[in-house]
Amino acid sequence: MIIKEMIVVEGKDDTKALARVAKCDTIETNGSAINDVTIEKIRLAAERRGVIIFTDPDYPGEKIRRTIEAAVPGCKHAFLPKELAQNHRGKIGVENASDKALLDALEAVRSPGEVAEEQITLDDLIASGLIAGTGARQRREDLGRKLKIGYANGKQLHRRLVQFRISKQEFIKALNYTQEKEE
């Protein structure tokens, strides 16, 4: 697989893992404290080639993703579910994912864009049991996995659904999948 965009990862082990499955170039953040020099590299890459943010599915990875989104709007996103990025010791990271999981994530890259015609509301998320209540976290996790937008808390989930133009029909289909999984 050849990736034309620059892929933002957290470290050199992520770069090595991606090199196993794709011909690509990466920008390493070297942790969650992203400096101005790294942001400028990402900004330049976005202008010239495009950028895919591919961080670990954990709190620091999400923090990096949000920091880059705020500084360089319009980046694409690749997501891995936690269970596919975990090694035998429980450590979570892109570098721990199988080649198949990495390829699947890269093939399912999401682009932010215009608002979907029928926008999903916070009330829709509450009514669907995705915000508050027993099992809401697991349902959000399952929904994020099915839609390939990663895990997020309720507010962030709403933002991603809008950002990635998830249609109400696509949302309902994924929601039905999560409900069938519970039964």
Interval 151-168 mean pLDDT:
83
The pLDDT tens digits for 110-139 are 777 645 456 788 888 888 888 888 888 888
pLDDT category, 51, cuts 50, 70, 90?
very high
Residue 19's pLDDT band (boundaries 50, 70, 90)? Answer: very high
Report helix, strand or coil for 162.
helix
In this predicted model, which residue has the larger pLDDT, 54 or 164?
A: 54
CATH topology of domain 2-107: Dna Topoisomerase Vi A Subunit; Chain: A, domain 2 (3.40.1360)
Q: For residues 177 and 34, which has the higher predicted lDDT (pLDDT)?
A: 34
Asked if residue 84 has pLDDT above 90, the reply is: no
Asked whether the predicted pLDDT for residue 183 surpasses 90, the reply is: no
Average pLDDT of every residue of the chain: 87
Query: In the chain, where does the domain assigned CATH 3.40.1360.10 lie?
Result: 2-107
State how beta strands 51-53 and 23-28 pair.
Answer: unpaired
Tell whether the model's pLDDT for residue 179 goes beyond 80. Answer: no
Task: Give the pLDDT confidence score for residue 53 in this predicted structure.
Answer: 94
Helical H segments across the chain, by residue range = 12-21, 36-48, 59-71, 99-107, 122-127, 136-147, 154-163, 168-182
pTM, rounded to two decimals: 0.69
Residue 30 has a pLDDT of 86
Q: What percent of the chain has pLDDT over 90?
A: 37
* Contacts of 145 by beta carbon, 8 Å cutoff, 6+ apart: 81, 151
Cα 94 to the center of its chain, rounded Å: 11
